[in-house]
Amino acid sequence: MLYAGVEPFGAGVLEVGDGHRVYWEQCGNPVGEPVLVVHGGPGSGCGVGWRRFFDPGRYRVVLFDQRNCGRSLPSAAEPEVDLSANTTGHLIADMELLRRHLGIDRWLLFGGSWGSTLSLAYAQAHPAHVSELVLFSVVTTSAREVEWVTRDMGRIFPEAWERFRDHVPVAERQGDLAAAYSRLLHDPDPDVRAAAAREWCRWEDTHVATAPGHRHDERFDDPDFRMVFARLVTHYWAHAAWVGDSLVDGATKLTGIPGVLIHGALDVSSPPDIPYRLSRVWDEAELVLVGDAGHGAGYVDVSTALVSVLDGR
């Protein structure tokens, strides 16, 4: 059972350099155990639903919108916005700056999907400042994982994938589809950008639909959200998030840090072998497979498991 929504007791905008202003807020107990919520996407932003996983009397919950999305500025929806200063390394630095700004020594990282990648990358860079990780729909955004989502999942949804592939120019259909879409999303023609965002998000809403109960993500009905999300995801995926295949092997840096990895057994677009391999390297990680769930925390059994882990610590 999720907790009732709570309002922030503090919020602000952090100047992080490169012209970026990162929105943050705090909820729950001001003297409680610190948690940093790391949202997915990249580009999803940190909506109010993230607050509901935490006992507000126990946790000091810090939420932030990563560069160029949500309430952080400038927005990736604007065609003139340069994304070159938006990489995994930049986001890790932003998280560290926010930790110091709030006077927090160590915090629990709570992230899902892309947020699990960013949490793992931050924890491996700054293990002394991480008390624990609770991650779900675990991915590491390796080049192989990107290829799986953008090409191999076509074997599960062949008609939808052909539409997704055929939206890019013929000469680019055998190559990196994320990079091809990224180029379209930076085209000077607004109609080209809008169509690319629409088709990218149509595929995003399809490839995760592998378990009973999947529902259309209504955020994709918003043209501005589509543009932010598609531009940031393709920007990151075209570069394998600047982490390559390093996060699984790098999990040896997490020795001594406990973790829980909650993953839907029917999450085909992000196969369970990803958290499984991670747990084989990271001795302190507990892998929890949820039998009838797919990708995301929208499944009752996944959200219940997350709240249970956070309550039972």
Choosing from 267, 269, 270, 279, the catalytic residue is: 267
Burial of 11 (0-12, 13-18, 19+ CB in 10 A): middle
**End-to-end Cα, the chain, rounded Å:** 16
Q: Would residue 82 show up in a list of annotated catalytic residues for this protein? A: no
Q: Would residue 303 show up in a list of annotated catalytic residues for this protein? A: no
Q: Would residue 113 show up in a list of annotated catalytic residues for this protein? A: yes
Choosing from 44, 65, 90, 113, the catalytic residue is: 113
Cα dist from 218 to 202, 221, 225, 226, 285, whole Å? 11, 5, 10, 10, 33
Amino acid at 53: F
Q: Is the dihedral of CA 30, 119, 139, 234 positive or negative?
A: positive
- The CA distance from 185 to 202, in Å, is 15
Choosing from 39, 119, 295, 303, the catalytic residue is: 295
Amino acid at 27: C
Q: Nearest to residue 302, comparing CAs of 287, 284, 289, 313?
A: 289
Which residue is associated with the tokens 């155990």?
33
List, by residue number, the catalytic residues: 113, 267, 295
